[in-house]
Amino acid sequence: MPVCPFCEIKLGSWKELAKHFNDMANNRSDSKHVMWLNRNISINRMGIDELEYSLENFFTKPENLGLWIRKKFIEKFYGDKPHPFIIAMQNPTKGVLLGYVIEHQHFLKNWVKILSSIVFRTDKDDVMMYELDNIKVEFIGYESKPSHYELLIRMGESLGMSREKILSIPPLPATRSAINTWRKIAETKSWLETMAAMHSLELVADRSLVKYGAKLPYFNPSILVSDKYPQEVKDFLREGYEADISHAGEALDMIERYAEEMGLKEEVQVVVLKSFDAFSKYLLARLERGFEIEPNLIKEVFYR
């Protein structure tokens, strides 16, 4: 049953949803509904019939939930206009990488806290195993390998910033706002919606996205063999590059299966879109931190 992605009320049909949007956006100029339409459907006003068609298409094609999430992720981050952070990662400067380190430490700590909430609330053993394994890889380390969190800090150190300095820097407002979005999801939504909100984001490093239409990889893989970058940078990037290719796909399979079982497909779609918006904001925060470190970076990013 169609759900309003902002109010989260259920409506009886796509026509009813279109009428709801028409009333909220066109008659009341409600900023939340207008913004949702601008970001997801079109910036151009539509009549009810056209809006009904567009909304139905948006939410029902492709029908497979895992594929739908992949497609929306690509459109948002890897489409005709890839996210500026992804573009910057094709040839990252020291400022870009340090911005990544400083903001991502906060993201990663929050990540494992939210995954812990999924473990606490789910009644599915495979989900528990998956999340505990992910917490181990991200924050604890495994098979004598350092965690992603530790590799991130080492990357920052290799770029000339001390561990103490990295750990002392609070998140930018945009990172804090994104983290609050994910915390709110974890506090108010089911474990499944929380799982979908988080693990859909791991698609960012999934190399198979190119097969589904992504215009760029997460970063230029030649970095991994380049002499331009310290070994610690390559170690951090390689971990994500090798880990997330099957990882995100495994999560999407579980999300799809349990969404069907629990009758939460539309709710999952709505929360995934919210999470993507927060993620976009957060990726930009990594760049903004880079602007502080390298003032010229802003011109390279936006006027290249």
User: Under the criterion CB under 8 A, does residue 225 sit at the interface with another protein?
Assistant: no
Q: Which of 29, 164, 168, 225 binds another protein (CB under 8 A)?
A: 29
215 lies in the binding site for another protein (CB under 8 A): no
The reply to whether 211 sits near another protein by the rule CB under 8 A is no
C-beta of 103: minimal distance to another protein in Å? 14
Spatial contact of 19 and 55, defined as CB atoms under 8 Å apart = no
CB 99, CB 286: distance < 8 Å: yes
d(C-alpha 253, C-alpha 260), whole Å = 11
CB of 15 to another protein, least distance (A): 18
| Interaction between residue 31 and another protein (CB under 8 A) | yes
Task: Please state the closest distance from residue 278 (CB atom) to another protein, in A.
Answer: 11
Compute, in degrees rounded to 10, the torsion defined by CA atoms 281, 148, 95, 177.
20
256 touches another protein by CB under 8 A: no
Q: Which of 131, 206, 267, 288 binds another protein (CB under 8 A)?
A: 288
Rule CB under 8 A: is residue 86 a binding residue for another protein?
A: no
Judged by CB under 8 A, the residue of 47, 160, 173, 213 near another protein is 173
80 belongs to the binding site for another protein (CB under 8 A): no
For residues 76 and 106, which CB has a smaller minimum distance to another protein in the complex? 76
Does 184 help bind another protein (rule: CB under 8 A)?
A: no
| Residue span binding another protein (CB under 8 A) among the ranges 114-122, 215-223, 252-260, 296-304 | 296-304
Cα→Cα distances 171→48, 95, 177, 244, Å: 42, 16, 9, 25
Q: Is 302 in the site for another protein (CB under 8 A)?
A: yes
Residue 13 lies near another protein (rule: CB under 8 A): no
Is 43 a binder of another protein (CB under 8 A)?
yes
Token pair 């999560």: residue: 251
- Shortest gap between Cβ of 8 and another protein (angstroms)? 18
Establish if 131 lies at the interface with another protein (CB under 8 A). no
Choosing from 71, 79, 281, 294, the residue that interacts with another protein (CB under 8 A) is 281
- Which chain residues interact with another protein by CB under 8 A? 25-26, 28-31, 34-35, 37-39, 43-45, 76, 83-84, 173-174, 177, 277, 280-281, 284, 288, 291, 298-299, 302-303
